[in-house]
Amino acid sequence: MIDGKWKLPIICTLGDQTMRFNELKREIVGITSMMLTSSLKELEECGIVHRESYHEVPPKVEYSLTDGGLSLTPILFDLGHWGHKLNTTKEKVNE
Amino acid sequence: MIDGKWKLPIICTLGDQTMRFNELKREIVGITSMMLTSSLKELEECGIVHRESYHEVPPKVEYSLTDGGLSLTPILFDLGHWGHKLNTTKEKVNE
DNA sequence: CAGTATCCGGACAGATACTG
DNA sequence: CAGTATCTGTCCGGATACTG
């Protein structure tokens, strides 16, 4: 569901903010327009990301997490903690 | 870290049990020896899975989750719950 | 029983160039 | 600004056959 290399970085970067396309692109180092576009589209289809498009010139599109997406972040936070703890434990063993 | 198609199924199947190679292979539908071997090896290197090998004939190898691996399961459980809730919400919207 | 060796196809990430 | 189109290479997963 959140597969692909960039979904997690996007969700974490977005957090509780509302960001525009190029803001995200600048924040997420190494991502290309293509990857960002396709990842955002999939996240939107999953109901994780909300997309607000203003039909203006120049175009303006804002992305934010839906409630569903927001409810994922604490779990991701736990997961991050778990990964960190696991690594420090491993380092201790290696010493 | 837990990428690849089979890591999660393996962790979930293992749970708090100790299982042998072919037990896992039988339980996890569709997995091949290769995938199971390589996934188990990576999980072992991450410190998630413990491997106990008895040098007998016929060979006997038992796999179980380490404490680190066990501490992951509740998070995975939350994640599963989250995914489920997200889907049911989406279905409601589609109705 | 518990793997290893080898080959193969397809999906995906990335680079580049272009557009409304 | 916010994307799309196209091409390309790589790597992962899968099938099959073999082994201590």
Distance B30 CA to D15 C1' (A): 12
Report the C-alpha gap between B91 and B95 in whole angstroms: 6
- How many other CB atoms are there within 10 angstroms of residue B28's CB atom? 18
pLDDT single digits (tens) A55-78: 998 999 999 999 999 999 999 999
Structure tokens at A70: 């927001």
pLDDT single digits (tens) A5-25: 999 999 999 999 999 999 999
User: Closest approach of chain A CAs to the CA of B85, in angstroms?
Assistant: 8
Q: Please give the residue of chain B at the shortest CA–CA distance from A70.
A: B82
pLDDT single digits (tens) A78-90: 999 999 999 888 7
Report the C-alpha gap between B81 and B24 in whole angstroms: 24
Distance B59 CA to C8 C1' (A): 31
- How many other CB atoms are there within 10 angstroms of residue B42's CB atom? 18
Amino acid identity at B19: M
Report the C-alpha gap between B43 and B50 in whole angstroms: 9
| pLDDT for res A3 | 87
Interface of A with B (CB under 8 A): 1, 46-48, 68, 71-72, 75, 78-79, 82-83, 85-86, 89-90, 93
**DSSP structure string for A53-83:** EE--SS-EEEEEE-HHHHTTHHHHHHHHHHH
pTM for this model (two decimals): 0.89
Q: Which residues of A are less than 8 Å from B71 in CB distance?
A: 82, 85
- Portion of chain A with pLDDT greater than 90, in percent: 84
Q: Please give the residue of chain B at the shortest CA–CA distance from A4.
A: B3
Do B45 and A93 touch, CB atoms closer than 8 A?
Answer: no
Report the C-alpha gap between A69 and A60 in whole angstroms: 22
